[in-house]
A and B are shown apart, each in its own frame.
Chain A
Amino acid sequence: MLRIMLRHISLLILTLFILSFFSFSLAYLFPGDPLVNLTGIRDSSEQTYALLAQQYAMNDSLFSQYWHYVNNLFSGNWGLSFSSGLPLAEEISRSLAASVELSAYALIISFVIGLPLGFLSGLRHHKFIDYSLLSASVIGYSIPVFWAALIAILLFSVQLGWFPLSGRISLLYDIPYDTGFILIDILLSDVPDKEFAFQDALRHLVLPSVSIAIVTSTIVLRITRRSVVEVMNSEYIQAAYARGLSPRQVFVRHGIKNALIPILPLLVMQFTTLLTNAMIVETIFSWPGIGNGLIQAIYQRDFPAIRAGMLAVSALVLTFTITSDMVIQIFDPARRRPEDATS
């Protein structure tokens, strides 16, 4: 177990190091003068230029520049955004929280829909209900997420007026920033119309999270179905039947647990799909998340924001995947790769 942890932690440190180096080199890769890219100050006088160069340690060797950059990263000094002039560390942590919130609700919805339906269709393998669920899942899987979101807006906000068009909460409510998760913030705060604010935030959440969940829940359904089919065909299930257990007992005692184990690692791999879809959907609904922020940053050529945002998102994704891979390998010895066993 110590071995697995060491392997994963060293892998994590190595990838994070490569990422930080890459994001450092982005300042040189972006078109234009690196210092202008970092500060956003264009036609500065020679004096200010020299001052800024000193501030960013531009005159030193590349290595010490990198050291300076990493030190700044750890001390929370991520630079300033061109467009808003605010410190990026704060801006990115806010938008990242918004994105994580949206994806988390989408994930919950897709588990609630996908898991039971997946079990249902796996247990009725090659029967009518299995085929109909599978075809529905192909439809859900193939809908481009931006198109689904646009159709949802046209239908539910413009035609029917059930849900608001965009944003996170109505401008009438002023929710103090605390955890970054709007629903929790509302509960913690002491604004006068707490219930109405909560309802309003929920109504804002429905369309974006459902349009992300369309794709994710079909993926959950398909993975669950595959795993249930494989488990129910395995020999220990036949042995359980041979011992005279009823189908219900077999499923509850042996089926569920064993079917759920292989689902988890496959779902972890879908985390990136979820995040990509969330990033696209954010721009459509003007959700103040990291995807929206990054794309706005590209439109405005806000290089420090692109650099810091990219680093934050990829570090989050990598930490998540590597940690969950580690947890899975610790708790499920069957998943350990053969190369780990031999070396």
Chain B
Amino acid sequence: MPRLNLYQEEFYPSPIQNTWKEFKENHAAVVSLYCVIFFIFIMIFGPFLAPFDPLQQHIDFLLVPPAWDNNGDISHLFGTDGLGRDMLSRILYGCRMTFGISLLLVVVSMLIGVALGAMAGMSKGFRSSMVNHLLDSIMAIPTLLIAIIIIAIVGTGLVNSMWAISLALIPQFIHQTRDIVRQKMKKEYVLAAQLDGAGKVHIFFNSILPNMAEMLVVQVTLALSVAILDISALGFLNLGAQAPSPELGALLSEGLSTAYVTPWNIALPGAAIFFMMMSINLVGDGLRSALRYRLLR
């Protein structure tokens, strides 16, 4: 006998489905999700898309304006810079570097931060309270300042600035994780697990982590936009990625030398950073409000 399903119309969506349904209502967020996917696509396939090598100098095409200008040339869609390097390829490679490095940094600092935060959140007593308060105050020190100090110690360079930024990102994750773990530790399902004799590690991975995953994703989007801004700011100040490298901030600061003749050389890389940050911020916003309202409808 075939199994009868009488209650077909009663469908209870899972929390993630609920979130996605709410997220889909926000068109701007969906569009920017596609933008983020587009940037990830560029990050992976950038070298195949770029028409030229980002460092190759075309001596016959110095300071060519973008193709939509009257003096533009279609072989260089975004024009060229003072050394005849193709801007489109440089921006594609730049998006790849900036976005990829930021993603890497955020993932690394998330792993470290969540581990430390879980330890801080699950411990009690005077020592944990002191560590927490100290952490709160260290969080107040600007990222740029921490980066400046680290760069002063180990010298300028992309890898050094990466260290600096990931160090500066970690405290946010610790803070967030610690607060959530504190909250969840008071829940009854954690108590139930404790009564079943689960150890701390088991409780964290099986009871708390699934419940904080969504907040973690939101925090990742926040940290990603901070990381992009910091990487490009350090590149722009010549403290991070150094001159020939096509990092977007370094591109901007290189464009400065010919800014009066070729304003597009600072307009285009900046616009790339802007779009990257805007799409990530919109996805983060959409996700946050989807999480907030998903149970209200």
Contact = CB atoms under 8 A, between A and B. Distances in A.
Contacts of A298: 148, 151-152, 156, 239
B256 to A, nearest CB: 7
B137 A310 contact: no
B233 A144 contact: yes
A67 B258 CA distance: 51
B71 to A, nearest CB: 19
B187 interface: no
Contacts of B140: 269, 271-272, 317-318, 321
B273 interface: yes
Contacts of A31: 153, 155
A115 interface: no
In terms of DSSP, what is the predominant structure of the interface of chain A?
helix
B271 to A, nearest CB: 8
Contacts of A14: 130, 134
Nearest to B269: A147
B160 to A, nearest CB: 12
A154 B270 CA distance: 13
B257 to A, nearest CB: 12
Contacts of B239: 295, 298
A275 B143 CA distance: 10
Contacts of B263: 154
Nearest to B137: A15
Given A11-B133, A18-B134, A150-B266, A144 B152 contact: no
A143 B267 CA distance: 12
Interface in A124-151: 135, 138-139, 141-147, 150-151
A116 B211 CA distance: 37
A146 B248 CA distance: 12
Interface string A306-333: 1000100110011001100000000000
Nearest to A22: B149
A307 to B, nearest CB: 9
A306 B144 contact: no
A306 B239 CA distance: 14
Nearest to B152: A306
A11 B267 CA distance: 45
Contacts of A106: none
Nearest to A141: B281
Given A151-B267, A321-B137, A144 B153 contact: no
Nearest to A313: B145
Contacts of B236: 146, 280
B141 interface: yes
Contacts, number: 116
Contacts of A144: 229, 232-233, 270, 273-274, 277
B215 interface: no
B274 A147 contact: yes
A280 B144 contact: yes
- Report the interface size class on chain A: 35 or more
A310 B145 contact: yes
Nearest to B132: A339
Contact of B148 (A158, A295, A339): A295
A107 interface: no
Interface string B137-173: 1101111110011011101100000000000000000
Nearest to A278: B142
Contacts of A138: 278, 281-282, 285
Given A139-B278, A142-B277, A147 B270 contact: yes
A159 to B, nearest CB: 9
B129 interface: yes
Given A154-B263, A339-B129, A310 B277 contact: no
Contacts of B148: 294-295, 298, 306, 310
Given A30-B153, A306-B148, A317-B140, 11 more contacts: A142-B277, A143-B274, A144-B273, A147-B252, A158-B260, A272-B143, A276-B145, A298-B239, A314-B141, A318-B137, A318-B141
- Shortest 8 CB-CB contacts between residues of A and residues of B: A147-B270, A142-B278, A142-B277, A321-B140, A276-B142, A15-B137, A272-B142, A276-B144
Interface of A: 11, 14-15, 18, 26, 29-31, 135, 138-139, 141-147, 150-151, 154, 158, 269, 271-273, 275-276, 279-280, 283, 291, 294-295, 298-299, 303, 306, 310, 313-314, 317-318, 321-322, 339, 343
19 contacts: A11-B137, A18-B134, A29-B153, A142-B225, A142-B277, A142-B278, A143-B274, A144-B274, A144-B277, A147-B252, A147-B273, A154-B266, A271-B140, A279-B145, A295-B148, A298-B148, A306-B149, A313-B145, A343-B129
